[in-house]
A and B are shown apart, each in its own frame.
Chain A
C-alpha cells in the first residue's frame, strides 16, 4: 500500500478514477484532429517547407551560402546544434533522474518531455551533418568504417568524434526508453480500438502486450536500469558537447568550467521548452487535472536552480579570465561584454540570469501566462549564450588583420527554420497519434495521489 503525506498536494486533481485516465488520454488519439491542431500543423509544415528550400540550396550550392567567413567558421550551425541538444536534456532528466529520485510528479509530463528529447536530438543532428556540406559522405567520415571506404580510421582523439558517439547513443537509448514506456499505453488504445486499421496499427505498436504480472515485473526492472544508464549518459552528452570547445586552445573556449556549466544550461533551457510545450498541450487537450499548477511550479523551481547555476558560471568564467592573468583570455571576455557583440552578451545576461530570478515570487511561478512568457525568454537567452560563446570567441582572430564580423544570410535562418518546422511537425504528430501522458504510470498513483480516493 502506498502512503502519501496528507500535506502534499495531490498530483492528479478533479477526482479522477483509473478509468477516467484511460478516457481522458485516449480521447485525443481516437477523436478527429481539432481545428487548432490543423492550424498548428499547417504552420509547422509551411515552416518546414521554407526550411527545406534552404536545406536544398545549401546542399546544392555548398555551405558558402551561409554567412560564415575565414575567421568565423562556426556560427549559427553549431549554435543551433548545441541549443537543440540542450533542449533535449530536460526529457531525460525528467524521465530518468526523477525516476531514480522517485519523484512522482514526473509521471504526467515524462512522455511528452521524452518525445521532445527525441525530436530535439534529431534537429540537433541536422547541423553537424549539413555543416559537412556533403551529407552523404558523413557516414564514412564519422563512423569507424574500413579503410577501403575511402578514408583512414576516424580520429578517436577528437571531441567531434566523441560527439558522434554521444549523440547517437543518446538518441538510441532515449528512443528505446520512450518506446518501452509507450508499449502498455498502445495496448490500451488497441483494446479500445473500434476500427480495423487502428486495431492493426496499435496492435503492432503494442508488441502483443497483455499486462501479465511477470512482464510488468521485468518492465519495471528494465525501466529502472535504463534510468540508471540514461542518467550518466545525459550528463556525458553535454559534457562531450562542451569538449568541442573546452579541449581547444581558443581564448574564451579553453575553460574547465564548461562541462558542468553546459549541463546546467542544457537542463535550464530544456525545462523552459518543456514548459512552453506543456502549457500549450495542457490547454488544447484539456489536461489541467494531470498537469497541475503544482507541476508547473515544480518545473519553475528547477529553472530557478539551473538558471542560478548558469548565472554563477558566467560570473566565475569572467572572474577566472581576470584572475588567470592571461591577456588573450582577459581580452576575449572584455570583448564579449563590451565589444561589438555586447548586445548579444547583455541579451544573454538579461534572459538567463535576471529573468529566471522572477520565479522566486510565488505569484509569478504559479502564473501560467508569466511562465509561458519567461519560458520563451529563457530559450532566447540560451540561444544567445551559445552564439556569444561561439562567435565572440572567434571573430577577433589572433591577427587584427583577420578580425571579422558574422552576418547571417537567408540560408542560416532558413536551416534554423527547417529544424523548427521538423520539431513542431513531429511533436504535433506525436500529440495526435500517441498518448501524450503515460497512462500506466499515472494510473499507478491514482489511489495515493488523487483527490477523490483520498477523502
Chain B
C-alpha cells in the first residue's frame, strides 16, 4: 500500500464526543493522521498528544529584532551619520526614540510570527489542500486515519472508529 493515499474517516457531529473518541481510538492503538474541525476545539491538542506550539517564542525573537533594529537605526542616523541640532536637544536621547522603537517592535513581532505561522502550516494562496470532506468547513469534525501508518486491518479500524461515537465512517482515497 502506498503512503498517505488511503484513509478511513470518522465523521463526528459534536466536539465533546470527538474529544472522548480521540482518546478511545488512540488507546486502542490506532494512529490518528489528523483531526479536521470547522472551529478550534479546546483540549484537542492535548488529546492528540501535540506539543505546545513554539510560535510565541518566534514572536518574542522577532520583537527583539525589531527593538534592536529600531534603536540602532535611530541612534546611527541622528547620532552618527548626520547629527542635526533640533531644538538644542542631545543628538542621541532615548525618550523621543521610544515611540518608533515600540512601533517597530510590534510590527516585526506581528509580521514575523504570522510569517512563521504561514510557513510552518504551509498556508499559501496557490495551495491546493487535500479536502477530506467538504463538510469540515461547515459543521463536521473529521478524524482521518492513514491506513499505511497502521498495522491493523481496515475493517478493525472502522469498527474502532464506529464504536467511538462517529456518526459516519467513510473511506477516502487520494489519487496523488
Contacts and interface: CB of A to CB of B under 8 A. Distances in A.
**Interface majority SS on A: helix, strand, loop or mixed?**
helix
Given A217-B45, A221-B55, A17 B139 contact: yes
B149 interface: no
A220 B110 contact: no
A212 B131 contact: no
A393 interface: no
B89 interface: yes
Interface string B128-170: 1111101111110000000000000000000000000000000
B124 A207 contact: yes
Given A157-B89, A192-B138, A225-B59, A240 B131 contact: no
B114 A221 contact: no
B1 interface: no
Interface string A199-241: 0000111011111111111111110011001101100100010
For chain A, the bracket of interface size reads 35 or more
Interface in A104-154: 144, 147, 152-153
B109 interface: yes
Contacts of A183: 123
A295 to B, nearest CB: 20
Contacts, number: 193
Contacts of A147: 82
B107 interface: yes
Given A162-B100, A191-B134, A213-B37, A157 B110 contact: no
A218 B121 CA distance: 8
A18 B139 contact: yes
A386 interface: no
B138 A19 contact: yes
Nearest to A165: B103
A210 B103 contact: no
Nearest to B59: A225
B138 A214 contact: no
Contacts of B77: 144, 153, 156
Contacts of A89: none
A1 interface: yes
Contacts of A211: 36-38, 136-137
A365 interface: no
B28 interface: no
Given A1-B16, A444-B39, A222 B137 contact: no
Of A172, A207, A211, A236, most B-chain CB atoms within 10 Å: A211
Nearest to A444: B39
B38 A2 contact: no
A175 B116 CA distance: 17
Interface in B34-78: 34-42, 44-45, 48, 50, 53, 55-56, 59, 73-74, 77-78
8 contacts: A156-B96, A157-B86, A187-B137, A191-B138, A214-B34, A216-B44, A222-B113, A225-B59
Interface of A: 1-2, 17-19, 22, 144, 147, 152-153, 155-157, 159, 161-162, 165-166, 168-169, 172-173, 176-177, 180, 183-184, 187-188, 190-192, 203-205, 207-222, 225-226, 229-230, 232-233, 236, 240, 243, 440-441, 443-444, 447
Interface of B: 14-16, 34-42, 44-45, 48, 50, 53, 55-56, 59, 73-74, 77-78, 81-82, 84, 86-87, 89, 93, 96-97, 99-100, 102-104, 106-107, 109-111, 113-114, 117-118, 120-132, 134-139
Given A184-B39, A212-B35, A447-B15, 4 more contacts: A153-B77, A213-B45, A218-B121, A233-B103
